[in-house]
Amino acid sequence: MENKDTQPASNNFIKSIIIEDLKNNKNNGKVHTRFPPEPNGYLHLGHAKSICLNFGLAKEFGGLTNLRFDDTNPVKEDVEYVDSIIEDVKWLGFDWGDRLYYASDYFDKLYEFALQLINDGLAYVCEQTPEEVKLYRGTLTEPGRPSPFRDRSIEENLELFKKMTNGEFPDGSRTLRAKIDMSSPNLNMRDPVIYRIKKATHHRTGDKWCIYPMYDFTHGQSDMLEGITHSICTLEFEDHRPLYDWYLDVLKTPCHPQQIEFARLNINYTVLSKRKLLQLVKEGYVNGWDDPRMPTISGFRRRGYTPQSIRDFAERIGVTKAESTVDYSVLEFCIREDLNKIAQRAMAVVNPLKVTIENYPEDNEDYLEAINNPEDSNSGTRKIRFSKTIFIEKDDFMEEPPKKYFRLAPGKEVRLRYAYFITCKEVIKDENGEVVELICTYDPASRGGNSPDGRKVQGTIHWVSAEYGKQAEVRLYDNLFLAEDPDNVEEGKTFLDNLNPNSLTTINAWVEPMLLQAKPNDKFQFERVGYFCADAKDSIDGKPVFNRTVGLRDSWAKMMKK
Kindly name the residue from 264, 276, 394, 528 that is annotated as catalytic.
264
3-class DSSP state of 411: coil
Angle at the Cα of 385 from the Cα atoms of 383 and 386, rounded to 5 degrees: 135
Kindly name the residue from 30, 179, 241, 274 that is annotated as catalytic.
274
Q: Are 247 and 218 in contact (CB under 8 A)?
A: no
316-339 burial, b at 16+ Cβ within 10 Å, e below that, comes to bbbbbeeeeebbbbbbbbbbbbbb
Q: Are 98 and 68 in contact (CB under 8 A)?
A: no
Label each residue of 250-269 as H, E or C.
HCCCCCCCEEEEECCCCECC
Q: Are 560 and 548 in contact (CB under 8 A)?
A: no
Q: What are phi and psi of 92, to 5 degrees?
A: -70, -10
**Cα 537 to Cα 341: distance, rounded to the nearest angstrom:** 25
* Dihedral sign of CA atoms 354, 358, 361, 367 in order: negative
**DSSP β-ladder status, 123-126 and 175-178:** antiparallel
Q: What are phi and psi of 321, to 5 degrees?
A: -90, -20
Burial class (CB in 10 A: 0-12, 13-18, 19+), 97: exposed
Task: Please say if 264 is a catalytic residue.
Answer: yes
| Dihedral, 176, 182, 184, 187 alpha carbons, nearest 10 | 60
Query: 435 in the Ramachandran plot: left (φ > 0), alpha (ψ -120 to 50) or beta?
Result: beta
| Of residues 522, 352, 527, 356, the one with CA closest to residue 426 | 356
**Cα 27 to Cα 231: distance, rounded to the nearest angstrom:** 13
Q: Please state, in angstroms and as integers, the Cα–Cα distance from residue 38 to each residue in 78, 81, 164, 215, 242, following that order.
A: 10, 9, 24, 10, 22
Neighbours of 458 (CB within 10 A): 11
**DSSP codes joined into one string, 482-550:** SSSSTT---TT--GGGGB-TTSEEEEEEEE-GGGGGPPTT-EEEETTTEEEEE-TTT-BTTB-EEEEEE
Partner residues linked to 438 by β-bridges: 355, 427
Q: Are 518 and 536 in contact (CB under 8 A)?
A: no
Task: List residues with catalytic annotation.
Answer: 38, 264, 274
